[in-house]
Amino acid sequence: MTDQATVPQPGTPEIPGKPTSASRTTLSHIMTQADTNLLGTVHGGVIMKLVDDAAGAVAGRHSGGPAVTASMDEMAFLEPVRVGDLVHVKAQVNWTGRTSMEVGVRVLAERWNESTPATQVGSAYLVFAAVDADGKPRRVPPVLPETERDERRYQEAQIRRTHRLARRRAIMELREKRAAEGFED
């Protein structure tokens, strides 16, 4: 497994790492008529709020204080959710940087009154930034993957981070180029 706890940041004291299981959580909610869209299924925004709530709880637990949503990547809706479904939102920290964390979320649904297995209905990756009382970024403990699955999620999160940073860089370069050519966006 990755042992980030032994890799101190230059010029700063080492923060002890936390295992993946230390902040992992599940948020469960029964969907009602108030959660539906015009098609009669649960509104995607309701699911996204549950995803953000669970991910925020995990980020706050892992970082030991407030954390704010910086971005949401790859929110995938795999199956519709219906009124009467018991939705389980499972979240864990996949990766940590100096002040940010990627939280992976799986969304499962099962009928509230049946004993059938839950079905995965969605997934998302969110990036949170830990903040202090003044809203300034603060350091987070490294995440310590505990299982092969945690290690795989950690490695995949590093790939997503590399892609996010490359995309941001490419967009900024394009904007600078267009501004130099006299285009206003």
Q: Residue 11's pLDDT is what?
A: 61
- DSSP bridge pairs for 55: none
CA angle 46, 50, 53 (to 5 degrees): 135
Taking CA atoms, 50 is separated from 21, 30, 54, 75, 103, in Å, by: 20, 11, 6, 12, 13
- pLDDT per position as a tens digit, 1-45: 444 444 454 565 688 999 999 999 999 999 999 999 999 999 999
Give the position of tokens 């990766």: 95
Residues constituting the chain: 185
Question: In this structure, are residues 27 and 61 in contact, taking their beta carbons and an 8 Å threshold?
Answer: no
The predicted model scores a pTM of 0.87
- One digit per residue, the tens of pLDDT, for the chain of length 185 reads 444 444 454 565 688 999 999 999 999 999 999 999 999 999 999 999 999 999 999 999 999 999 999 999 889 999 999 999 999 999 999 999 999 999 999 999 999 999 889 999 999 999 999 999 999 999 999 999 999 999 999 999 999 999 999 999 999 999 999 999 988 76
> Exposed/middle/buried for 62, CB within 10 Å: 0-12, 13-18, 19+?
buried
For residue 162, the tally of other CB atoms under 10 A from its CB is 10
